[in-house]
Amino acid sequence: MLKNNITITRFVLLISATIFILFHYPFFKFVFSNVDYKSLNGVILIISLVILMLVVNAFMLYLIFFLSRAVGKVLLVMFFIINALAVYFVNTYGVIIDETMIGNILNTNYDESSSFFSIKLVLYVLLLGVLPSIYIIKVKIENVPAKKFLKTSSLTLLFIIVLAFANATNWLWIDKNSKRLGGLAMPWSYSVNTPLFYIHKYKKNKKEIILPNATIADNKKSVMVLVIGESARKQNFSLYGYSKNTNPLLSKIPNVFHFDATSSATYTTAGVKSILDHKDTGDLYEILPNYLYRNNVEVIWRTTNWGEPPVHIKDYQKRDDLKSNCAVNCDYDEVLLAGLKEQILASKKNKILIILHTSTSHGPTYSKKYPAQFETFKPVCNSVELGNCSHDELINAYDNTIVYTDYILSKVIEDLKELKEYNSAMMFVSDHGESLGEKNLYMHGVPLSIAPKEQYEIPFIVWISDSSKQLKPENNLTQHHVFHSVLHFLNIKSPVYDEQMNIFKN
């Protein structure tokens, strides 16, 4: 039975043990899967990690509660609620709460975040978050004298240092697996990675680095439609040899080409930035739409998604802006096509870049990302808890999003074919791939250094009109090929242009 009055020492030990029991199953599941736990060194490492986890959490809580019990209680309640949410996503989708995942979370919009809601999530929050918080709020904690505090904290710190050095032979293993270990340790995963995310974001985005001026080399009418896919993985496109016919329309259209490609990241913000960047860099250089708009190209951005770098153009249109001109399937990505051809024809400029940022294959609610008539493969997974669906149901739901993507791309091509005065092209590149239960991983966001191929092998599909330029026999493209290929197609001369990164023939 828990006491209403408890000393600070016993309290922090109790809370540390509770955090360990409730939230560290994923951490030690990973450890047991990657350590020879039958060997003496493996046993020592596991025991050391257990002790270290308990002692470090207790030590930090001891410091906080000695300084302020009120602040300590507020922080602990936050930790338990956030821990519950974090462990739900770790257990359900196999995610790792590292810096990149923190970026995903902080940049997620309401529509996307609400798609994760489930009864299981509520139970996690209530049982693992709210119930312990009630005890934390009600319990009376008795402080200790300063002398005892200094003695206890000094001995504890010394013990942590000794334990760390006693495991010096395991430092290499810990360093090798630091991303996963750090992303599964609660509450350290998010409490450390959140400030790191903001620090790095501030450093990267202090000021957009302007590229050198470009010039338009001719007056020929040219239009490029760049479609940025969401969570589309290459292996589920029949164009790439997938056994199910997920590309029934594109496969029949002349002048459609596909290339093997990889993404630069496994999450949207970094993936989209790479598609729009002129080279692989962590700096915020002027991105493709901003650069071309500043250099007198007509640039139109239409989006049902989020997560792009700052876009500085006149015609930036979101879903709600497009709905007024939409007649069919306006709650899906088809809204991006509403009045598209008419907007191109209304332009007074000869060079036009259209960017369509889709959201079609984003999970976990794959079955809600396409109209009913595109449910080609059945039965489908309708649960946000993807592990509760059979593998076939999950794959069917995802494959239907690819069928819908195929339709949208074919409609873009149909519109472009009608623009007889223009040299036209369409380029489809995904921001990243998607895991669908392989290795017990779902969706995306695993650090690229340890990500499975499903999360970074992406489709790179190109269509060109008969009068347009031909394509090089390229393969193994990157997302950075987009910037230079668009410049070449529109005949934009720039000091940053790299012919090696262009997919079109001269």
Token pair in block for residue 9: 């020492």
For range 78-105, the mean pLDDT:
83
Burial of 393 (0-12, 13-18, 19+ CB in 10 A): buried
pLDDT tens digit sequence for 364-388: 889 999 999 999 999 999 988 888 8
What's the Cα-to-Cα distance from 165 to each of 48, 100, 116, 173, 230, rounded to whole Å? 11, 30, 42, 14, 45
245: DSSP letter: -
On whether residue 377 sits in a domain, the answer given is no
Q: What integer pLDDT is reported at residue 458 of this predicted model?
A: 98
CA 304 to centroid of chain Cα atoms: 16
Which neighbouring-strand residues pair with 427?
A: 226, 462
Q: What is the pLDDT of residue 112?
A: 65
Residue 303 and residue 426 share a domain: yes
Residue 455 identity (one-letter amino acid): Q
Q: What's the total number of domains in the chain?
A: 2
Domain assignment of residue 229, yes or no: no
pLDDT at position 109 is 64
Q: How many angstroms separate the CA atoms of 155 and 160, rounded?
A: 9
Name beta bridge partners: 7. 142
pLDDT of residue 113: 64
What CATH number should be reported for the domain holding residue 352?
3.40.720.10
Q: How high is the pLDDT of residue 120? A: 87
196 and 254 in a single domain? The answer is: no
Amino acid 474: pLDDT: 80
Residue 370, domain member (yes or no): no
Give the DSSP H or E segment for 464.
strand 457-464
Among 33-42, 48-57, 166-175, 353-362, the least confident range: 166-175
Q: How confident is the model at residue 205 (pLDDT cuts 50, 70, 90)?
A: low
| Shared domain check, 269 and 171 | no
CA dihedral sign of residues 319, 303, 223, 251: negative
Rounded to whole angstroms, how far apart are CA atoms 35 and 40? 11
Peptide bond into 379 cis (omega under 30): yes
Does residue 230 form part of some domain?
Answer: no
Name which of 215-224, 434-443, 491-500 the model is least confident about. Answer: 434-443
Does the residue 9 lie in any domain? yes
Of 176, 203, 230, the one marking the end of a domain is 203
The residues, any chain, with a CB within 8 Å of residue 223's CB and separated by 6 or more, are 344, 351, 352, 353, 354, 416, 419, 422, 423, 424, 425
Segments in 68-170 forming alpha helices (H): 69-93, 99-107, 110-114, 119-124, 131-138, 146-166
Band of residue 443 on the pLDDT scale cut at 50, 70, 90:
confident
C-alpha R_g of the chain: 26
Residue 95 pLDDT class (50, 70, 90 cuts): confident
Q: Are residues 260 and 189 in the same domain?
A: no
Task: Assign 442 to helix, strand or coil.
Answer: strand
Task: Kindly state whether residues 152 and 256 are assigned to the same domain.
Answer: no
Tokens of 464: 């060109």
Beta strands at 298-303 and 5-7: parallel, antiparallel or unpaired: unpaired
Cα distance between residue 493 and residue 484, in whole Å: 10
Residue 242 lies in a domain: no
pLDDT on residue 388: 83
One-character DSSP codes across 375-442: --S-S----S-GGGS-HHHHHHHHHHHHHHHHHHHHHHHHHHHT-TTSEEEEEEEES---EESGGG-E
The pLDDT confidence band at residue 199, using thresholds 50, 70 and 90, is: confident
Over range 140-150, report the average pLDDT: 89
Predicted TM-score (pTM) of the model is 0.76
Residues 258, 160: one domain?
no
CA 205, CA 318: separation in Å to the nearest integer?
23
Q: How far apart are CA 32 and CA 165, in angstroms?
A: 21
What pLDDT score was predicted for residue 166?
A: 80
**Does 187 share its domain with 325?**
no
Beta-carbon contacts of residue 494 (< 8 Å; ≥ 6 apart): 211, 212, 213, 214, 215, 291, 487
Instruction: Tell me, yes or no, whether 154 and 300 share the same domain.
Output: no
- Which of 178, 203, 228 is where one domain is finished? 203
Query: Quick one: 165 and 259 in the same domain?
Result: no
Return the SS3 of 318.
strand
Residues 337 and 471 in one domain: yes
Tell which of 175, 203, 231 closes a domain.
203
- Residue whose C-alpha is closest to residue 436's, from 398, 490, 380: 398
Q: Quick one: pLDDT band at residue 327, thresholds 50, 70, 90?
A: confident
Of 265, 236, 171, the C-alpha closest to 401 is 236
Helix (H, G, I), strand (E, B) or coil at 49: helix
Q: Rounded to the nearest 5°, which phi and psi values hold at 501?
A: -100, 10
Range of the domain at 49: 5-203
CA–chain centroid gap for 447, Å, is 10
Residue 233 lies in a domain: no
Please state whether 296 falls in left (phi above 0), alpha (psi between -120 and 50) or beta.
Answer: left
Strand partners, 209: 285
Higher pLDDT, 199 or 312: 312
Q: How far apart are CA 247 and CA 239, in angstroms?
A: 6
**Within this chain, do residues 102 and 33 fall inside the same structural domain, yes or no?**
yes
The region that residue 463 occupies, defined by phi over 0 for left and psi between -120 and 50 for alpha, beta otherwise, is beta
Angle between helices 40-67 and 8-23 (to 10 degrees): 130
For 482, the enclosing helix (H) or strand (E) is helix 481-489
Q: Residue 443 domain-assigned?
A: no
Alpha carbon distance 482, 226 (integer Å):
9
Report the helix count and the strand count for the chain, using DSSP H and E: 18, 14
pLDDT band, very low/low/confident/very high, at 408 (cuts 50, 70, 90): very high
Looking at the fold, whether 144 and 270 belong to one and the same domain comes out as no
How many angstroms separate the Cα of 11 from the Cα of each of 38, 58, 64, 141, 143? 34, 9, 12, 7, 10
Distance CA(46)–CA(35), nearest Å, equals 8
User: Looking only at Cα atoms, what is the longest distance across the chain?
Assistant: 85
Burial of 170-200, coded b for 16+ CB within 10 Å and e otherwise, reads beebeeebebbbbbbbbbbbbbbbbeebeee
Paired with 356 in beta bridges are: 227, 302
